[in-house]
Amino acid sequence: MAKIQLNGKKVSIKQKFSVFDLLKKYNLDRKKIAVELNGTILNKHKYEKTFLKSNDKIEIVHFIGGG
């Protein structure tokens, strides 16, 4: 198990867990969010190939429409 920080909360994940797996676990639509990994915005095309490791810090932001 690895421990990461997700939106300020400590979370345990399995080894070989990708950003895509994390989004799937929390039922997040990748079209409506942005993911920041350790201070850098992650390109959506890299979600499946980017594996998380202990002490990674992830911020997920939802896009909200309106006027």
Query: SS3 for 21?
Result: helix
Residue predicted with more confidence, 52 or 1? 52
Whether 54 and 2 have beta carbons less than 8 Å apart is answered as yes
Task: Tell me the C-alpha distance between 44 and 2, whole Å.
Answer: 23
- How confident is the model over 19-62, as pLDDT tens digits? 999 999 999 988 889 999 999 999 999 999 999 999 999 999 98
pLDDT at 67: 62
Structural domains of the chain, with CATH: 2-62 (3.10.20.30)
On the question of pLDDT at 66 being above 80, the answer is no
